[in-house]
Amino acid sequence: MDGDLLSDLLAPLRLRGVFHSRWQARAPWGVRGERESCAIVHYVQDGGCVVRLPGSDPVRLGPGDLAVFPHGSAHLLADAPGSPAVPLETVLPGREPGEMRTVHIDGPGPGTTMLCGGLHYEADAAAPLYRALPPLLVLDRPAVAAEPLLGDMLARLAGEWESGAPGLRLVAVRAFELAYVLALRAALARPGRDAPVLRAMGHPGVAAALLAVQRRYAEPWTVGTLAAEAGMSRSAFAAAFRELVGEAPMRHLTARRMQEAARLLAETPLPHSGVARRVGYHSTVGFHLAFKQWHGTTPGDYRRRRRAA
């Protein structure tokens, strides 16, 4: 495939800052975090822990494993299933992007050392395909090692924290940003990808159509022309797209257009007619109706609200 879908997927996120922390916890311990408006990365340096999403089975993490939460989903971290858990706010109150902390949890049992980062981004800038990423991606130690820059950087970051070297705050911010990109790249390259959207990004035909929608959303696409872009028959393309992306091709196109329209309304002085043309609508009335149906408000009200904010 000609192009870089992962770069197109992540570039619009516009990170606003990273809150990062180093955890040293001795069993028994447990921390319960609510959903946050950021991506979250947990890297286990030593020891081990379990991570669990609400309603899911716990996943064991060992030394060198990496857990990524693209949407900041609520989750539990603990030394073992069933350990009592306290709210995250009690051990890390008042977290702000750009800060760094060290967390100590004392106990009589085995110890665990982790590096954790929260990457804050503007949710409205997330591409529709990014929103389809699963709530949790886990890379075990071999998968992290298979992405040499990722494993080496996390190991070095852990050493930097212990040494307290000058510039650690800035180094950690940049390291977590890069670790997030590399983790998604490693998840995409992993054989037997579990998440359908990751398989979509690795499917030559569907990925070609996704890249076309991401970059050339204003063109007059139909299911037939997207299928031709994918090099597939119309029926095979529509079925594969829906199975892997989780929605029909034209709905995904509308989501991309509405995302870009929201950005243009918030960040540019373009009149509504100009925004409509930029995102592929030749009728301002048609654009107005589509925007209100998608965002639940008119383009004018959306622009006023965003500028007031």
CATH number reported for the structural domain that contains residue 213 in this entry: 1.10.10.60
Q: What domain range is 112 assigned to? A: 5-191
CB 127 within 8 A of CB 256: yes
Q: How far, in whole angstroms, is CA 109 from its chain's centroid? A: 34
Task: Give the domain-ending residue among 191, 213, 231.
Answer: 191
> What's residue 122's pLDDT?
75
> What's residue 162's pLDDT?
66
Provide the greatest CA pair distance for the chain.
68
> What's residue 191's pLDDT?
56
> What's residue 1's pLDDT?
38
Same domain, 171 and 32: yes
How many whole angstroms separate alpha carbon 258 and alpha carbon 235?
A: 26
Same domain, 260 and 141: no
- pLDDT < 70 stretches in the chain: 1-3, 12-15, 162-165, 191-194
Q: Is residue 83 part of a domain?
A: yes
Closest CA to 118 of 56, 190, 42, 223: 42
> What's residue 2's pLDDT?
43
Same domain, 156 and 284: no
Sign of the C-alpha dihedral computed for residues 278, 279, 282 and 283 taken in this order: negative
> What's residue 66's pLDDT?
95
Task: Give the domain-ending residue among 191, 224, 241.
Answer: 191
Average pLDDT, the chain: 89
